[in-house]
Amino acid sequence: MKNKRPASMLISAILASVMFIIIANSFMNLWGNSFTTLTAAKTATEAQNLSDIVSEKLKLEGVDAEEVTTKTPLSDITGNDDDDDWLYTYEIGNEFEDDDGNIFKVAEVKIYKDGEDNPRYSTEIPLSSSGNSDGLEVGMIVAWTL
């Protein structure tokens, strides 16, 4: 039986090490991409939740809401300093009136992460006047019998 030379054993060890490094690098890239995807999904969800806060504010103000065209910190609405790195704008479209005399507008809400030019989330919110004459307002508690 012939013994292997030390040089061939060294080459085998180097090749095995290179293969191990390539496999380890592949797994690290796979795991790294998974965490990046999770972080992006969390940021998108946070932007959507903050958009809901601005949307509720607009719905309460209705057609009388005034546009906010410059990026404004969300902490102005929420009162939470953690929201300082999130900004919002909203533009309100032209009004139109239906056959019953109700006035409608559509507001486009955009949510930005600090320092970014493109919005992370945007949505359109319908705004309306309280054109009916029943005296009920949104959120009123009313006794109702059946």
* Contact between 91 and 107 (Cβ < 8 Å): yes
pLDDT averaged over every residue in the chain? 81
Q: What is the pLDDT of residues 129-144, one digit of tens each?
A: 654 445 556 667 777 6
Q: Is residue 134 part of a domain?
A: no
Least confident of 52-56, 84-88, 116-120, 142-146: 142-146
Mean pLDDT, range 87-100, rounded to an integer: 86
Q: Is residue 84 part of a domain?
A: yes
Q: What is the pLDDT of residues 30-62, one digit of tens each?
A: 776 666 677 778 888 899 999 999 988 888 887
Kind of pairing, strands 103-113 and 86-92?
antiparallel
- The structural domain count of the chain equals 1
Q: Is residue 39 part of a domain?
A: yes
Q: What is the pLDDT of residues 23-35, one digit of tens each?
A: 888 888 777 666 6
Q: Is residue 5 part of a domain?
A: no
Asked if residue 109 has pLDDT above 90, the reply is yes
Q: Is residue 2 part of a domain?
A: no
- Residue 91 CB coordination number (10 Å): 12
Which run of H or of E encompasses 87?
Answer: strand 86-92
Give percent of the chain above pLDDT 70.
83
Distance, CA of 137 to CA of 96 (rounded, Å) = 21
Q: If we measure between CA atoms, which residue out of 116, 114, 121 comes closest to residue 55?
A: 121
Greater model confidence, 146 or 20: 20
Q: What is the pTM of this model?
A: 0.61
The tokens 């965490």 sit on which residue?
A: 35
Distance, CA of 36 to CA of 113 (rounded, Å) = 17
Q: Is residue 76 part of a domain?
A: yes
Q: What is the pLDDT of residue 110?
A: 95
Amino acid at 70: T
Mean pLDDT, range 122-129, rounded to an integer: 84
Q: Is residue 75 part of a domain?
A: yes
Here the tokens at position 37 are: 């995807």
Range of the domain at 64: 10-128
